[in-house]
Structure 1
Amino acid sequence: MRLIAAMALLVCAAAQAAAPTDRYPDVAAAYWVEVDGRPLWAGHADQRLPMASLTKLMTALIAVEHGDLDSWVEVSAGAAAETGTRLGLRRGEKLTRRDLLLAALVRSANDACRALADSIGATADAHVSTGTMTDTRTGTGATAGALASAVATTDTRTSTGATTDTRTSAGTRAGARARNGKAANAHAPAGTTTETRDPTGTFVVRMNARAAELGLADTHYTDPCGHDDAAQYTSARDLAALSHAVLAEPVLAEAVQRRELRLTTAAGRVLSARTTNPLLDGLQGARGLKTGTTPSAGRCLVAVVERNGRRVLVVLLHAPERWWDSVGLVELAFDALPPRAVQGAATSGGDASVR
């Protein structure tokens, strides 16, 4: 009995040690800090909040998993009319999916993000045969009905702290997303190919299905780019899990570290852009990951820093001082490691301030 009691105490102690503590409650509405995948500190980690352009992490993940990144995409009128941060794409221009992916991640360009999502959404329905959609990278099939079920399940959730998008009313966007779902779930006759009438809606279905596969219980998407919508939300814990999936893709792990872009359209027009993430310039070992800002979401950030083989990941949702607080949390996290784990970090160069 004594042995069993002792083992129970050890299990409880281990569980308490593994649970992150809310040591810095004032840094953000919700936050998450981990070292090498081990949670260190967190506050309101499961609260559902708007995510702004952190949405693009899922969009990028699906794009890479879909594959065919070197195919050319024609910019639609809808993509060219996107608001917020833009690359300046024009209707009818053609860029590769790879370049659109880079623009969406590095510059957080909504026009590039929408063009990327629509190209994949259109392709998904164009390859529907006997009600089955096949992933071009893995070859595994998923029925359109299964995807619809994933969306129906996540649609039963309600968001916390989200407000309407400043572009359109919540009612208008909700109606549009309802129509998106109907168009995206339509089955093609056996043995035929069709082109979706709503590629954005089809892509959003895939976003929610992928979120379900990753176990993101507090995440729901209505838009691939991150515009404010009461039905689009995530949690700090879910974003940490999504970030692991993104970093596991070499194409994405490299893309989020880029500071500048120089892209060329099929017609030869050159487009230049710089990252929205100043940590890449000023924080030693910064490796990305994504920034986001909207009226409802506030200032958001997922930061990844690597030093001497150790990785710190910080997620901030609605953080008024995201740059300074993220730097502080990163440094505190590395300081919390045993001395030998961070030995030499201070001598490897770099400036911990944000320029």
Structure 2
Amino acid sequence: MRQLLTVVVILACLVPALVLAKRAMPRPAVLARAAMVVDLATGRTLYAKHADQRLPIASLTKLLTAMVVLDSKRSLLRPARITNDDVDRLKWSRSRLPVGSLLLRKTMLHIALMSSENRAAFALSRDYAGGRGGFVRAMNRTARRLHMRHSHFVDPTGLSPRNVSTASDLTRLARAAYRYATIRKYSTSEGQLVLGGAGPLMYHNTDPLVRRAAWHVGLQKTGFTNEAGHCLIIVTQVRGHAMLFVLLGDPTPTAHFQDAIDLRRWLLSRPPTHAAHTL
């Protein structure tokens, strides 16, 4: 009888704890075609969905573009001009920089990362020792050095659907990009006044999460093309830990941000030692 009573007491203590744990760890309803969450400090994967599926990545490409620009060691204080060669003739996407605009290379890099300005990225790739062709070759060399085995790049903007990668490969890219103070600074600034072309232009960050103080965003890049869907890379703080989120192929203009919000909320609800969740 005493043993039975002991078992009943133990179960009475365990059941509420189990119910609480179950409530604390709901599976995030991630809409992205592929997703991954990694603890930057440990490299541990905390969430993965189709992480090895090769997909177009749109302007997430520009993180690699920025690395190649910075690795070239060419002065960011040199001016560069937007020419007809920098006009997008694949998607005919619009740009706020008219042909003939003269900007410092640092300004071009800033608005390419912060606002996904395609003509700025094209101009930076053309203003390279080996021209745009040499720049793209350097992109692929860098990808190989980072062991991004399922990635390939044909342009510096991501407008081409032939720029492909996986969520897993992109965690390698983002972790490498995070080591560059300039990339962290430019990608997370909220806005920048640009003097060039027809007059002053105010550029804003394409990621609204940088304006949420609680997120402490350390790096971000958004992307969209019809083929890639809506994409996001973001580094945010969770319980004092830098967490890297990669989201590819979300279906609507706000879904990638909502996926990130849901994943962060899920991480905050989990015990710190909980096992990785994989789909």
TM-score by length of 2: 0.79
Cross-structure match for 1:272: 202
Note the C-alpha offset of 1:337. Answer: 4.7
> Is the contact between residue 228 and residue 297 of structure 1 (CA under 8 Å) also seen in structure 2?
no
Are residue 327 (structure 1) and residue 261 (structure 2) matched? yes
Cross-structure match for 1:52: 58
User: Against the structure 1 CA distance between its residues 253 and 263, is the aligned structure 2 distance closer, same or farther, given a 3 Å change threshold?
Assistant: same
Aligned 1:193-204 pairs, distance under 5 A: 199-204=131-136
Aligned counterpart for 2:48 among listed residues 30, 39, 42: 42
Cross-structure match for 2:32: 28
> Is the contact between residue 35 and residue 333 of structure 1 (CA under 8 Å) also seen in structure 2?
no
> Is the contact between residue 51 and residue 300 of structure 1 (CA under 8 Å) also seen in structure 2?
yes
Report the AA paired with residue 65 of structure 2: T
Question: Secondary structure of 2:227's match?
Answer: coil
Note the C-alpha offset of 1:259. Answer: 0.8
**d(CA) in 1 for partners of 2:219 and 2:107?**
18
Note the C-alpha offset of 1:271. Answer: 2.2
**d(CA) in 2 for partners of 1:270 and 1:277?**
22
**d(CA) in 2 for partners of 1:81 and 1:91?**
12
Cα deviation per residue 1:65-108 (whole Å; 9 max; x = unaligned)? 1121111112121214563252x222232111110001101110
Aligned 1:4-23 pairs, distance under 5 A: none
Cross-structure match for 1:71: 78
Note the C-alpha offset of 1:228. Answer: 3.2
Report the AA paired with residue 30 of structure 1: A
Report the AA paired with residue 73 of structure 1: A
TM-score by length of 1: 0.63
Are residue 305 (structure 1) and residue 236 (structure 2) matched? yes
Cα deviation per residue 1:313-332 (whole Å; 9 max; x = unaligned)? 11000023211111110121
User: Against the structure 1 CA distance between its residues 85 and 299, is the aligned structure 2 distance closer, same or farther, given a 3 Å change threshold?
Assistant: farther
Report the AA paired with residue 224 of structure 1: P
Cα deviation per residue 1:217-251 (whole Å; 9 max; x = unaligned)? 0110011101133x320000111110011110011
**d(CA) in 2 for partners of 1:26 and 1:280?**
21
**d(CA) in 2 for partners of 1:330 and 1:286?**
12
What CA RMSD, in Å, does the superposition of the two structures yield over aligned residues?
2.0
Are residue 289 (structure 1) and residue 220 (structure 2) matched? yes
Report the AA paired with residue 48 of structure 1: R
Report the AA paired with residue 52 of structure 1: A
Aligned 1:156-167 pairs, distance under 5 A: none
Cross-structure match for 2:98: 90
User: Against the structure 1 CA distance between its residues 295 and 268, is the aligned structure 2 distance closer, same or farther, given a 3 Å change threshold?
Assistant: closer
Report the AA paired with residue 83 of structure 2: S
> Is the contact between residue 58 and residue 158 of structure 2 (CA under 8 Å) also seen in structure 1?
yes
User: Against the structure 1 CA distance between its residues 104 and 314, is the aligned structure 2 distance closer, same or farther, given a 3 Å change threshold?
Assistant: same
Unpaired segments of 5 or more residues in structure 1? 1-22, 126-198, 340-355
Note the C-alpha offset of 1:338. Answer: 3.3
Are residue 99 (structure 1) and residue 29 (structure 2) matched? no
Note the C-alpha offset of 1:254. Answer: 1.0
Aligned 1:68-217 pairs, distance under 5 A: 68-80=75-87, 83-84=92-93, 86=95, 88-120=96-128, 124-125=129-130, 199-217=131-149
User: Against the structure 1 CA distance between its residues 29 and 89, is the aligned structure 2 distance closer, same or farther, given a 3 Å change threshold?
Assistant: same
> Is the contact between residue 80 and residue 89 of structure 1 (CA under 8 Å) also seen in structure 2?
no
> Is the contact between residue 239 and residue 268 of structure 2 (CA under 8 Å) also seen in structure 1?
no
Report the AA paired with residue 291 of structure 1: T
**d(CA) in 1 for partners of 2:119 and 2:198?**
18
Report the AA paired with residue 278 of structure 1: P
User: Against the structure 1 CA distance between its residues 258 and 337, is the aligned structure 2 distance closer, same or farther, given a 3 Å change threshold?
Assistant: farther
**d(CA) in 2 for partners of 1:337 and 1:256?**
31
**Which structure shows the bigger proportion of residues in strand conformation?**
2
Matched residue count = 238
User: Against the structure 1 CA distance between its residues 66 and 283, is the aligned structure 2 distance closer, same or farther, given a 3 Å change threshold?
Assistant: same
Moved more, 303-312 or 40-49: 303-312
Note the C-alpha offset of 1:307. Answer: 4.8
Cα deviation per residue 1:139-185 (whole Å; 9 max; x = unaligned)? xxxxxxxxxxxxxxxxxxxxxxxxxxxxxxxxxxxxxxxxxxxxxxx
User: Against the structure 1 CA distance between its residues 251 and 274, is the aligned structure 2 distance closer, same or farther, given a 3 Å change threshold?
Assistant: same
Percent of pairs identical after alignment?
32
